[in-house]
Amino acid sequence: MPGLTIGDTLPDLEVETTHGKIKLHDYVSKSNFTIIFSHPGDFTPVCTTELGAMAAYADKFAERGVQLLGLSADDVSSHERWIKDIEAYNNGSKVTYPIAADPQRQIIKELNMVDPDEKDSSGQQVPSRALHIVGPDKKIKLSFLYPASTGRNMDEVVRVLDSLQRASQHKVATPANWKPGDKVVISPGVSSDEAKQMFPQGFESVNLPSNKDYLRFTNVD
Which residue ranges make up the site for ligand BEZ (CB under 6 A)?
A: 40-41, 44-47, 118, 148
Which one-letter DSSP state was computed for residue 207? P
Nearer Cβ to ligand BEZ (43/214): 43
Q: What angle do CA 32, 67, 142 make, to 5 degrees?
A: 65
> Count of alpha carbons within 13 Å of 54, Cβ hemisphere only?
28
**Burial letters 27-51, b for 16+ CB under 10 A, else e:** bbeebebbbbbbbbbbebebbbbbb
- Residue 97 falls in the annotated catalytic set: no
- Dihedral (CA of 88, 90, 93, 97) sign: negative
For the bound state, the minimum distance from the C-beta of residue 156 to ligand BEZ, rounded and expressed in Å, comes to 18
Nearer Cβ to ligand BEZ (70/135): 70
For the bound state, the minimum distance from the C-beta of residue 22 to ligand BEZ, rounded and expressed in Å, comes to 24
For the bound state, the minimum distance from the C-beta of residue 107 to ligand BEZ, rounded and expressed in Å, comes to 18
Nearer Cβ to ligand BEZ (16/50): 50
Of 47, 99, 126, 134, catalytic: 47
Nearer Cβ to ligand BEZ (46/220): 46
AA identity, residue 94? K
Residue 70 CB partners (closer than 8 Å, separation 6+)? 37, 38, 39, 51, 54, 95, 97, 98, 99, 100
For the bound state, the minimum distance from the C-beta of residue 58 to ligand BEZ, rounded and expressed in Å, comes to 21
- The residues annotated with a catalytic role in the active site are 47
